[in-house]
Amino acid sequence: MSDSTGRERWGPYPLILAGAAIGVLVIFVMSPRWGGFALGAVIMIAAALRFAGYGGQLAIRSKKNDVITLSAFGFVLVLTSLLLYNNELKALILSLLAP
């Protein structure tokens, strides 16, 4: 690394870590639905930051792999949290998947 400052090495990792901790706290204190939504949103923000070129501690694999993995995991978390107490949306998705 040519830059020896801690800011470059860590990148947006502390922001994402704080957001994830808040999301988990919301799951336990308020509601699993809103906490899961917040956690999924934070993970999708991490994917957007990784796509924008901010690596730091978020850079685990190649940029393409990181963005695809984080986006998919965040999307699944948001979708699952939206389906948690919504029977109408569950029925709609199941009807789309039914043969």
Integer Cα distance of 88 and 46 in angstroms = 30
Q: So where are the chain's domains?
A: 6-97
Give the pLDDT of residue 58: 66
Residue from 79, 27, 18 nearest 46 by CA: 18
- With a cut of 80, say whether residue 54 has pLDDT above it: no
Structure tokens at 36: 């899961």
| Predicted local distance difference test score (pLDDT) of residue 1 | 45
Residue 93 has pLDDT above 50, yes or no: yes
List Cβ<8 Å contacts ≥24 apart for 86-93.
Answer: none
* Sequence letter at residue 2: S
Q: 99 or 31, which is more confident?
A: 31
- Does the pLDDT at position 16 exceed 60? yes
In this model, does residue 79 exceed pLDDT 60? yes
Contact 57, 13 (CB under 8 A): yes
Mean pLDDT of 61-73: 88
